[in-house]
Structure formats: C-alpha cells, structure tokens
Chain A
C-alpha cells in the first residue's frame, strides 16, 4: 500500500530526475537566454527552489537520501550557469568590445646604454678578426701618457690647459688623467711579445670646455697590430675592414697625412657616411722606431685610435655630445640604437 508519504517521495524523486534531464539539455546561446536559464533553474521561484518546498514534506528518515540528490542537482545547475556565463561573457569581450587603438601602457624594460652597445659592436668587429681586448689605467703616469710616446717636456699637449693633473700629497712626477688610450699601447708593448693584435677601448680626458662638439671626457678604441712583415697596406686594410663592417659594404675611406709625435708616417682616417658624408674617424700610423725600440719591439707597429662618441651619436641620430652622458632616466631608457649587429 502506498501511503501519502511514499507518494510525495516518489513525486519529488521523479521531479529531481526530470529537472536533471532538462538541465542537461538546456543550451543557452547568449546572455538573455542564460538569464532565462538562471530564472528557470536557480531563481527564487525556480524549479529547484520549488523542490526544496516539496522536500519539507518528505519523511525525516528519507530526507538524507533525497537531500543529497537535491543538493547535487542544485550544485550542477550552479556550475553549469557559471561555466556558461564565463564562456558567453568572454566571447562577448573578444568579439565586440575591444578598442584596438587604445593608448598602451608604458612597459619599462631594462636595456643597455647606447654607448655600451656601440662600444661592444666595435669590439666585436675587431674580435672577429683575431684581436684581443686589453685595458689600461685611466689615471696614468707621465711616462706612459707622454714621455714614452715621444712628447717632449714642453710639448703643447702637456700644457696644464689641455691635461687634467691630479693633486698628490707627495711630489713624485706628474700623474694625469690619460689624454689618449695610446698610453695603453706603451703598456702592451712593454709586457707582450709580437705578434700582437690588440684593441683597448677606454675613456680619456681633456681639460676642455664642454659644449655640443667637445667634452672633457670621451671614448676611444685604440688598436695595435704588431708583426714582422706588417706595413702601411695592412693598416689601410684594417681601417677599410672596420669602416665597411660599421657602415656597410660600399663604404669608402680616405686617408690624409697627419702628425702625431709617436707615429711616422701618421694619417687621419676619414669615412664616407652614407647620409652624413665625410667625417673624421680617427688617427693612425706606424710607431716611430725611437718609441718602440726602447720597449724591445723591433718590428713594425701599426696603431690607430678611433673616437666612438661621434659614432654613438650617429647611431642615435643625435648631434650633441652632452647627450651621451645624460642623467635623465626617461631620456636614456627611451633611446634606440640603430647599429648593425646590435646589442652584442
């Protein structure tokens, strides 16, 4: 005999299975249909809430079993709603609301300083053809900066107006901030045996008023090529190779007679920049035997010095040397260096 309580139980159970089936079939395709879905299943007057009202009539000893079914149903309805909501709203964003031309947020990335990039690129060009990199002190004694390089005691370059001397507590000869990286050439010859192929990038100092075209600090890359049979023709080759690597295969160079106390012959190297025309790259020459022989070197010593600040300015499209030492963080981090090879 089926009593009232049993009937209720069957009715509730059947309803649960029926709604479960409906829930499985429901497939809202847009936000409106999803809202209808929510009202129908999960609304305050929805079918599941109605079942909870019926549930109060279920006999206490059966409540546990039915309650579990009912909770399971509610949970799956809620889950399905959340999933559908996620899918449908995401779809809406990508397909309808995005402004593709919105202003973007600035992302600050760490980057290398332009001078550092240019310097490394120059090193790389020489390193590739067998040059080793060396360094020397920026604060030099008189011997390495002047005397060994054949600057006589009264040479204008030694003038207080051109060179920064450092203040010492005791007097032991003049110590200066080096005025050229040629001082390193002397040190290399003192301590190495030929063949030597070496470059030394470094900072040099001149006691000059600072302007767009002159600075009291600048950067040079000095080179040495020492071997039994090297000649002016080899020097020309290296300078041409360098120019082509930096400015492209069609680059031309022009050599002009020049004068340095420590080289003879001495030349100036001019490069034809594809846009800016001829500019002076640096100086070069063959060391005077009077300079190299006391250092124990009896074979030809080819040498050159290239100023890299102007090349860095060109790579940045700037023309004021002071910009290279800018303190302004925004200014530095927004710069791009147009250099072949790049960020080595």
Chain B
C-alpha cells in the first residue's frame, strides 16, 4: 500500500477550496485513502506535507498530490476535467517530437511512451512530486521498475529525434546521475547504487537498453539511471521530456497518461510525442502519446441494484459515476461508461458497480435482515478439541497458545531429534522463526524454562497444530491437531502422567493400552506409548534430564503428546 507525501499548499490550490484536516480525513475514504500523518505545522506552508496512505493498488492515478486532489475535486463538484491533448484511435494529435524504437529492444524491454511538458519552469513542489511519482508509480505499479520505469530530461540539451535501442554493455559509456566519472553500462551495474539496486532486472540479457539522441548523446540507461547532464533535471528548468519504458505496454501507456494529467492539472502544457516502433505493439506501430487506449464497459443497473441491495435509477447511477470521474451514457437499463484517461481498472461491470456504490455513499445502504434459514454447527474436530480442553481444564491444567514458528535450536536441537521431515521456511526473516513446529512439546518446555518463578505445581497444555513434510499431499505437508501437556513440580513422576492420561482417556471415551517406548525425549523405562486399537496415538512419560538441561529446567517434568485427530477417528 503506497504512502505518499502530499504537498499541502499545492493540494489545496488544486482542490480549489481550503478545508480542515478533519474534513479532509472524512473525505479521503472515497479515494480509498487514509490520513496517515498530519503536516508539521512548524514548517513553512509551502514546505508542509500531508502523509496519505492509498489502499487501491489498481489506482496509481491517486499516488500524487495532483491525482488525489483531482479525485476529491471531481467527487465534490460532480464535474470532470478534460484533457484535450490526448490522442485516441482515429484522432491522433500532431506531434512536434519523435522517438524511434529500434528492434534491438524487443527482447529486453520493448515498450516506450513519452510526452513533453512546457509552458513554465518546473517548481520545487512539482519536481518533488514528480520524483515521488517516479518512485511510487515505478515501485508499486511498475513492480520495482521491472514493468514500468520513468525518466525526465532537459529538452534544451536534446537533439531530435531520440532513439531507444539496445547495445552491448561495454559499447556505451556515460556519466550516470550524481557521478562525474564516465562508466560503461556494465560498470554502472556494478558501481552505481541504482545499478546495484535494479541491475537484476536486466540479468541474462546480452544487450542493455539505451536512450540516446540524434547526436549520440545518452539520455539514460533504462530502467537503471539517467545521465548526469541531459537527465539531471533541476528546479527552474523549462521544457522537459518525460519518458516511460517497460515490459507491459498498457502499464507504460497508463503511466504516461497519469503523469501528463498531473502536470496538466498544475498548469503545464502537454505536448504529444510520436513513438515509432520497428515492430508491432498491442497499441500499434506508430502511436502518439499520451494515448487514450481504454475501452468502455457497460453495467446493467438492475444487476447493480440487486448486488448492492438498493433500488438505483440509471440517472442516479450516471450521477454517481460522474462524481467518481467516469463519463457515461444511459441505454435502457444499461449504463455505458468510459474510464477516465488516467484509469484502467474497469475489468468487469462489478468495478463500475463499486464506483456507483462509492459515488452514492456507503451510508446510503440500509442493512437487511436475512430471510433464509440455516443451522449453525461446529466441525467434529472442533467439538472434540473443546471436549478435550474442558477435561484438561477440569484436571487443573492451564491452556496455552504458542507460536508455530521457531528456531532449529528449540524445535530440533534441544529435543535431541533429527530434522528429518521438519518443515523449514525457505525465506525466514530470522533464525528464531525458521521452522514450523513438528511437536508441541518444545513450546511447553520453553514455557517451563521461563516460568521457574511461577508458583508450583505447573500444569499446562495446548491443543494445536503441528506439521511435517509429506509429499503425498499436494501441499507437500501434512498438518495434524494434537494435544500435549506438561506437569512440573518436585515429585512429578510417570504415575502422575499416567493418571492424567487415564482420566483424559476415560472422559474422551477411549479404551487404550500402553506399551514400552524408546523416545529419546523421555527417560528410558519411564515412558509409554498410548495405543488405540493396536495403533500408536502418542507418547507420555518423564522428560529426559538431558532435555531438561538443554532447556535450563531444574524441576522434574512429565509430559505427553497425542494426535487428537487420530484419537477422534479411532473413537468412532
């Protein structure tokens, strides 16, 4: 979920009205946004920022000061802003600038879109916002620059046309942003911080993408870094080229549309750029960007009424959509809607139904009592586990609930077991949470090890899950519901454990037998296997002194662990 810094002064200018932060907070939900942090009032008004968190990963148009202001303004006024500089199918703008895309990039990073901003020098607020857009858009929507990256350049230094092509890493050199030193592309990936951060995107390619002008000067090495001259945009620069490259043309085109609208809202002139591909793209070979590629979606208002549980007229639906910035036409019980140029999140009519819902206001929908009848029920294992819990509690045991993730040291080494069949996390954050527990006993022993000060006797149990590697399941694992208990006090012995087991078995209604066992976690000769119908259901006995020592426990402990699912099955 992206969090953005909204330039306070710019934001209220764009919104066209001043409101309190409380009013803003109440309005933000319509953009699926939340006020994350209020501005620092000790700062100058033009430096203050409001932190806002955006929840919809399909609405990158909201991730900038202008974007969020645009949505709120449209919602309040019900009128939409027009963006006449967009090209559309059959209606292309005349472009002053051209970028050619060479066939060599097709296998590396095939798509490019661009436009030019002019009309006034770039302000500090707008530059900061553009850099933020670059980060948020390319990180969240552009999958960390993999599918979309963005660059800004000073037009005054460019000789047109610009070419997007791919070259061998050692065949091109330039000074990357922030560096005076000229490096080749391979050196940039090794030495420049951005090269180290994003170099993996190009891994495995023989050729690397490059953007250069007609005189061969390099603008940038997408998606890694701009050049230190043409690509070093500063406050006060006028006429900038904004370019996007990536692997998914719709994302690359939408990103250009969003950023163009942001600059247009702030009063810049947007000049189209013609992009000439040497190969076919889903949006054509030669195209003028920003380009409106989205298709209309039709929503059945009878369906919308049924799904929302409220009778909605087509006119009301149209008005609600207008508040969300969506233009539409009524056709009988249907409404045909065109996504705004900066949005591409209408995949199905339910997406429009949601916008209708938000446009009308969630508080307008009255709750409805259910008409039908169903019978509530627990799962058999839930019922059986509750029965077992009640017996254990009756025996004076305290129920515990533990983390299922733990360390190799706790789950394996301290128990004297091998790691065979134990599930290891492939990407643990720390070694403290590296394994999924194969048994509840380590958790109980850990409790005892930290509770020496608690009044004795200690009687604790947990009913919970354990899991193992098991390739016969498609999840490669099997998970079982188990019951384990531990009793600790000065004279805890096998007989006490046997008594606990006997009472538990009596009230669970299971006739059982015991048979000698040789589990390393328990003292030899003072441990037994619980047998149901001749099959093992678990183990109990006196915990081995070596195990106790591993856990730094000085009090004698008896413990047991049983497979509750197996017991339930055998009982039936």
Contacts and interface: CB of A to CB of B under 8 A. Distances in A.
Chains A and B are bound partners = yes
Contact of A113 (B30, B56, B400): B400
A264 B399 contact: no
Given A207-B427, A232-B307, A257-B362, A265 B357 contact: yes
Nearest to B396: A110
B400 A164 contact: no
Contacts of B147: 154
B282 interface: no
B342 to A, nearest CB: 17
Contacts of A267: 362
Contacts of B365: 232-233, 236
Nearest to A207: B429
Contacts of B377: 127, 132-133
A151 B378 CA distance: 31
A232 B400 contact: no
A203 B402 CA distance: 11
B358 A232 contact: no
Contact of B453 (A130, A131, A133, A330): A330
A324 B401 contact: yes
A111 interface: yes
A257 B32 contact: yes
A168 interface: yes
A160 B427 CA distance: 7
Given A135-B379, A139-B436, A264-B354, A259 B372 contact: no
A119 to B, nearest CB: 9
B414 interface: no
Contacts of A112: 389, 393, 399
A16 B550 CA distance: 76
B167 interface: no
Contacts of A160: 427
Contacts of B58: 259
A160 B426 CA distance: 9
Interface in B369-401: 369-370, 372-379, 381-382, 386, 389, 392-401
B366 A233 contact: yes
B405 interface: yes
B348 A290 contact: yes
Contacts of A61: none
Interface in A34-83: none
A134 B379 CA distance: 6
Contacts of B370: 129, 230, 234, 237-238
Given A139-B479, A233-B365, A328-B451, A290 B376 contact: no
Contact of B362 (A175, A255, A328): A255
B140 A233 contact: no
B475 interface: yes
A256 interface: yes
A160 B428 CA distance: 9
B459 A108 contact: yes
A9 interface: no
A329 interface: yes
Given A217-B403, A264-B351, A264-B353, A234 B398 contact: no
B393 A110 contact: yes
Contact of B397 (A110, A127, A195, A265): A110
A174 to B, nearest CB: 9
Interface stretch (B200-208, B231-239, B465-473, B528-536): B465-473
Given A286-B350, A290-B347, A137 B479 contact: yes
Contacts of B330: none
A288 B348 contact: yes
Contact of A217 (B351, B394, B400, B404): B404
Contacts, number: 248
A181 interface: no
Contact of B405 (A132, A216, A256, A300): A216
Given A265-B354, A324-B401, A327-B447, A240 B362 contact: no
B306 interface: yes
A189 interface: no
A266 B55 CA distance: 11
B82 interface: no
A129 B477 contact: no
Contacts of A115: 401
B308 interface: yes
A123 to B, nearest CB: 7
Contacts of B59: 259
Contacts of B403: 216-217, 325
Interface string A167-197: 1111010010100000000000000000101
Contact of B399 (A116, A217, A236): A116
A342 to B, nearest CB: 14
A166 interface: yes
Given A217-B404, A231-B308, A137 B475 contact: yes
Interface string A219-235: 00000000101111110
Given A130-B376, A216-B405, A266-B354, A110 B392 contact: yes
Interface string B344-365: 0001101101100110001101
Interface string B418-447: 000001111111000100100000010011
Given A127-B376, A175-B476, A232-B365, A113 B401 contact: yes
A205 interface: yes
Interface in A113-157: 113, 115-116, 120, 123, 126-135, 137-141, 154-156
Given A257-B29, A333-B454, 14 more contacts: A110-B393, A112-B399, A120-B386, A164-B425, A165-B427, A177-B436, A203-B465, A237-B368, A255-B363, A256-B32, A257-B354, A286-B307, A325-B402, A332-B400
6 contacts: A108-B398, A127-B377, A197-B374, A232-B308, A237-B367, A237-B369
Interface of B: 29-30, 32, 55-59, 140, 143, 146-147, 306-310, 347-348, 350-351, 353-354, 357-358, 362-363, 365-370, 372-379, 381-382, 386, 389, 392-405, 423-429, 433, 436, 443, 446-448, 450-451, 453-455, 457-460, 465, 467, 469, 471, 474-477, 479
Q: Across the A-B interface, give the 4 residue pairs with the lowest CB-CB distance, nearest first.
A: A233-B309, A231-B309, A127-B376, A237-B367
